[in-house]
Structures are given as C-alpha cells and as structure tokens.
Structure 1
Amino acid sequence: MSDGDATPSAHHYGITVADLEDSLAFYRDTLGLDVLSEFEVSGEAFAEGVGVENASAEFAHLDAGGARVELVSYTPEGADARGGMVNDAGAKHLGLSVPDLDAFHDALPEDVETLADGPRTTESGTTILFVRDPDDNLVEIVEA
C-alpha cells in the first residue's frame, strides 16, 4: 500500500478461549498482565463482521507492555483448534518478554504446563520458555 494513512499498524493480538474467566485468571494472575477493559458485543453487524451466524462474544483486553492482548469467548462456540505444536501448519503463539526468565519459571504455579522443564538458550543466544494457557494455546516467554 502506498498511502501512509491506509497502512495497517498493530492494534491487538487476539486469542479465542473457551472460558473467559479461566483464561483471564491465567493471563492476569499467572502472567501478570493488567486488564484494560472487559465488554460484550452482539448484534447483526457483529455476527456479519465475524462471519458467524448469531454470534455474540465476551472480551477482555490486557496490557502486555505496549501490546494489547484480546481474549474472546464466542457464542456459539466454533470448532476446537486447541493444542498442537509450534511446527504445525497454521500454528500460532503469543510472545511475551520478561527480564529474568529463570525467576519467571521458578514463580510459575506447578499446574502450568511447559514444553521443556525450564528455560532454554538457543544457538542465537535467545532464552525461551513455552507455556500453555488453560485452552492449550502456546505462549512463548522470552528473556528480554
């Protein structure tokens, strides 16, 4: 696109969840993201806009240090697209950074699933840890 006013910029990163309260507890209480707003949306224009007949949804917007994370729970629910691994075609993950990944890992509740038993430093020098949210979505935690 050549028109600077028409060039998209990031607004939010959306994650569809089954239970907004369970997911909100994870992202707010376990990961420490601040809640910016919670709201509901429904109506014909919304249903047409998301391409789901009779859709309504509950939303929570969270502050991830300059990035907005949107958790959304739809009625009616769609197909289950949870789980999988990062190398699956169509896979997605949210990336967040922390200053001390070892301290973050040590503070995680025992019931939070990780892909490795602790942070790993890659050949590029980046230290990473993947965790799963209550809906089995992957969240990559990177040491800043």
Structure 2
Amino acid sequence: MSDPSAHHVGITVADLDRAVDFYTETFGFDIVAEFAVGGDAFAEAVAVDDASAAFAHLDAGDIVLELVAYDPAAPGEAPELNHRGATHLGLSVDDVAAFHADLDDDVETLSPPRTTESGTTILFVRDPEGNLIEVLDA
C-alpha cells in the first residue's frame, strides 16, 4: 500500500459560479481546472442516482480547493461548528485584523477577529453557500 497524501479539500455548493467568484475575489485563489463529470460510474461512486457535477479546482497554496455543484442538487443548511460532522476550511493570512478590515461588506462573519487562549487570532466567515471558513494568523 502506498502512503496517502492530501490531494484536495472539497466543498459542495449550489451555485458554482458564485462560489468561484467568492474564493477568487476574497482570497485571491487562481482557477487551475474546470470540468464536469457524469455517467454511471460517477453516480455509483458518489452514491447519488443519476448524478453529474461541475467542478472547479482552485489553487489554495498547499492544497487544491475543489468546489463542486451536483445535479441533481440537494437542499442543505448552513453548518454550525458545534454539530457532529461539521467541517470548515482553515486558511492562514499574515494579519487577520487587516484581512477582516478589507472584507467586502456582504461577507458574513461570526464575530470580529478574536485572540484565543492559545494566542492565535481567528476569524470565521461564511462563503455565499453558508460554508464556514476559519481565517487565522500564519
């Protein structure tokens, strides 16, 4: 067996174009690939009847951020951090306060930047789909 290594972090979204715009504009990520996948093998692999999906891969530094919009789409709710199975994307920046100050007014934050007991300054924001992103000091 080969040693596993990280390939990407995936986030399912309803509106791929809106999500791509958010991550490229807010975080400056570059698009590295856009493609679609469908067919029986894909539907069976993801266990969604008749599924197909559009994908965008973004260069997020040490990882690839994979945004995926499924057809058919299923409804969902914005995740809460304290719920079992909750996930979030963690991104580091040089200065959380400066990043916060430069955010567009329509970007939802859970609170202003806060320095925790560990000494790390954190800020949680939501993407347009409600997915959580933790921004922390590099």
What is the TM-score of this pair, normalised by structure 2? 0.96
Gaps of 5+ in 1: none
For the aligned residue pairs, the C-alpha RMSD in angstroms reads 1.0
Q: Does 1:83 align with 2:78?
A: yes
Instruction: Supply the AA of the counterpart residue of 1:89.
Output: R
Note the 1:65-144 alignment, pairs <5 A: 65-80=61-76, 82-116=77-111, 118-144=112-138
Displacement of 1:102 after TM fit?
1.2
Per the alignment, in what secondary structure is the counterpart of residue 109 of structure 2? coil
Quote the Cα distance in structure 2 between the aligned partners of 1:83 and 1:53: 24
Quote the Cα distance in structure 1 between the aligned partners of 2:9 and 2:124: 17
Per the alignment, in what secondary structure is the counterpart of residue 78 of structure 2? coil
Look up the match of 1:28: 24
What is the TM-score of this pair, normalised by structure 1? 0.92
Gaps of 5+ in 2: none
Aligned residue pair count: 138
Look up the match of 1:58: 54
Deviations 1:47-87 (A, max 9, x none): 1111111111000001111111100000011241x313211
